[in-house]
């Protein structure tokens, strides 16, 4: 038994209480909060950083995956509106027939903030959830720490969209991390940006060398750099490389800013501060080796300069709730349908191998799609907690699909809508009438099946 300090303190309770308190303002928390507020719930959104977007802004992602295929559109409602408003705002562009959207991370944070405020969501930034106060089967309040001190907040329903499942973890609920066999998790990556890239030269080289295919193109270059002793990152090629549509900047293919998803750290846990610290140190060093690699080996990058390194490493995988139902990759590839579906998708199951180097990708053919049921968002233990985002109840492989934002956002719209209904009916979140939930989602433009 380690030495223990006993820590007791009287904590003030905030005067205002809420129908729905959403904890974590990433891709999931944003959509959950907007959905709840639009359904009339008095909604609070608590976020640790100074802006919204989570991994999508703080760790600086730039792409929402495909949403249309073979006549099926799998994203509607709040996330579709968010993407369209980001495009109209001028910091995002739609690509190709399948409707992927490239965006500037700060545009995501900004448009999300405006949409939350318009919906009537009360924002509480720079505020960190630290614990739950449990009364029987209910969370009666949560403890939040700020620069001004710690206080308690009451709400009818709490929604955990912290990515890491901080709320269900502190509540002592069951969860899993990593592969069933050994708990190993997908690697973490610190992305970075380089500017003044001649993308036209790069694309012409990819076309010439590998018929326009990025993967074999980079595999060859990385293999050469490894053979030269100039590449030590455990990866056979970047996860992705793409042009960033910065607000106010006209796209110039001969001098543009490029996102690089290529650092990689294996064997670390994204929910452990010691591991996270080591991961930051390793990947921040890797950024400079990769920058040199780009300049020396990749056509079009010779004159680039490092324009942005985010202030946090991107975490792909930590805690996954063990909820009422655990959605599996098998459910996804077999297209299992659920009577309480809240969202559908066809994004690739994208599991970055735990040892680094490569990726296990499972694609869905045109017309195929998977369904995500509400029962993955609720717990066996608590009557007023709903979970959204990458920490919902899925297995390690299914997380490879659920974690991408074209999935976290629609699922979270389902979570936020359910939270508002539970608050309105004063019912257990597990007893939210499914027909009412689905009718509301469809009325609001969400897609729950075909
Ligand atoms: C390198 C990398 C590349 C990726 N590329 C893509 C991509 O191209 N496209 C794509 O769609 N997805 C991509 N993903 C996955 C995707 O970005 C994330 O899985 C997704 O954004 C997770 O959203 P979330 O809302 O569940 O969690 P998060 O984005 O992690 O949001 C959680 C929020 O909660 C806040 N928070 C956490 N704990 C607390 C607390 N205790 N108190 C208060 N606030 C708290 C955090 O600050 C954060 O804002 C990538 C991920 C990585 C790591």
Give residue 26 CA to ligand 1 midpoint distance, Å: 6
Q: Which residues have CB under 8 Å from 223's CB, separation 6+?
A: 236
- Smallest CA-to-CA distance from 373 within 343, 409, 341 is with 341
Query: Cα–Cα distance between 53 and 86 in angstroms, integer?
Result: 13
SS (H, E, C) 13-72: EEEEEEEEEEECCEHHHHHHHHHHHHCCCCEEEECCCCCCEHHHCCCCCCEECCCEECCE
Residue with CA closest to ligand 1 atom 37: 162
Q: Are 200 and 256 in contact (CB under 8 A)?
A: no
The number of helix segments (H) and strand segments (E) in the chain equals 11, 22
Residue with CA closest to ligand 1 atom 45: 24
Does the Cβ of 24 fall within 6 Å of ligand 1? yes
Structure tokens, 192? 């970075």
What Å distances lie between residue 108 and 63, 75, 114, 328, CA to CA? 10, 17, 10, 30
Query: Cα–Cα distance between 139 and 166 in angstroms, integer?
Result: 14
Give residue 236 CA to ligand 1 midpoint distance, Å: 24
Residue among 23, 48, 55, 287 to mutate when testing ligand 1 (max atoms within 8 A of CB): 55
Give residue 315 CA to ligand 1 midpoint distance, Å: 7
**One digit per residue, pLDDT tens: the chain, 450 residues?**
789 999 888 999 999 999 999 999 999 999 999 999 999 999 999 999 999 999 999 999 999 999 999 999 999 999 999 999 999 999 999 998 899 999 999 999 999 999 999 999 999 999 999 999 999 999 999 999 999 999 999 999 999 999 999 999 999 999 999 999 999 999 999 999 999 999 999 999 999 999 999 999 999 999 999 999 999 999 999 989 999 999 998 889 999 999 999 999 999 999 999 999 999 999 999 999 999 999 999 999 999 999 999 999 999 999 999 999 999 999 999 999 999 999 999 999 999 999 888 888 999 999 999 999 999 999 999 999 999 999 999 999 999 999 999 999 999 999 999 999 999 999 999 999 999 999 999 999 999 998
Q: Say if strands 385-387 and 149-160 run parallel, antiparallel, or are unpaired.
A: parallel
Ligand 1 atom closest to Cα of residue 316: 53
Residue with CA closest to ligand 1 atom 4: 61
Does the Cβ of 54 fall within 6 Å of ligand 1? yes
Residue 310: strand, helix, or coil:
coil
């Amino acid at each position: 038994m380690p030495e223990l300090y006993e820590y007791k303190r009287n904590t003030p309770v905030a005067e205002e209480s809420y129908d729905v308190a959403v904890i974590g303002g990433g891709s999931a928390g944003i959509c959950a909060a907007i959905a709840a507020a639009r359904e009339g719930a008095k909604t609070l959104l608590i976020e640790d950083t100074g802006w919204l977007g989570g991994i999508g802004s703080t760790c600086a992602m730039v792409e929402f995956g495909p949403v249309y295929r073979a006549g099926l559109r799998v994203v509607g409602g709040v996330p579709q509106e968010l993407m369209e408003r980001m495009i109209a705002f001028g910091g995002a562009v739609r690509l190709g027939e399948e409707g992927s959207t490239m965006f500037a991370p700060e545009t995501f944070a900004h448009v999300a903030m405006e949409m939350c405020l318009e919906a009537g969501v009360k924002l509480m930034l720079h505020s960190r959830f630290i614990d739950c106060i449990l009364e029987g089967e209910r969370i009666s309040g949560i403890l939040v720490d700020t620069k001004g001190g710690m206080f308690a907040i009451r709400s009818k329903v709490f929604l955990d969209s912290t990515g890491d499942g901080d709320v269900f973890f502190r509540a002592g609920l069951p969860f899993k991390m990593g592969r069933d066999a050994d708990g190993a998790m997908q690697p973490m990556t610190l992305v970075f940006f380089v500017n003044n890239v001649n993308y036209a030269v790069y694309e012409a080289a990819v076309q010439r060398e590998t018929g326009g295919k990025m993967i074999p193109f980079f595999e060859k270059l990385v293999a050469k750099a490894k053979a030269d002793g100039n590449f030590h990152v455990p990866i056979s090629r970047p996860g992705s490389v793409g042009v960033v549509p910065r607000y106010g900047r006209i796209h110039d293919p001969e001098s543009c800013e490029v996102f690089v998803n290529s650092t990689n750290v294996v064997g670390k846990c994204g929910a452990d501060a010691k591991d996270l610290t080591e991961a930051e140190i390793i990947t921040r060093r890797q950024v400079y080796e990769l920058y040199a690699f780009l300049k020396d080996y990749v056509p079009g990058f010779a004159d680039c300069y490092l324009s942005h390194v985010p202030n946090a490493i991107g975490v792909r995988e930590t805690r996954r709730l063990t909820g009422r139902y655990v959605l599996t990759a098998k459910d996804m590839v077999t297209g299992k349908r659920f009577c309480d579906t809240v969202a559908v998708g066809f994004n690739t199951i994208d599991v970055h191998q735990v040892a680094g180097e490569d990726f296990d990708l499972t694609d869905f053919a045109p017309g195929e799609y998977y369904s995500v049921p509400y029962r993955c968002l609720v717990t066996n233990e608590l009557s007023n907690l709903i979970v959204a985002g990458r920490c919902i109840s899925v297995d390690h492989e299914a997380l490879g699909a659920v974690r991408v934002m074209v999935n976290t956002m629609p699922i979270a719209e389902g979570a936020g809508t359910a939270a508002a209904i539970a608050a309105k009916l004063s019912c257990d979140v597990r007893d939210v009438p499914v027909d009412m939930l689905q009718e509301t989602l469809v009325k609001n433009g969400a897609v729950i099946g075909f």
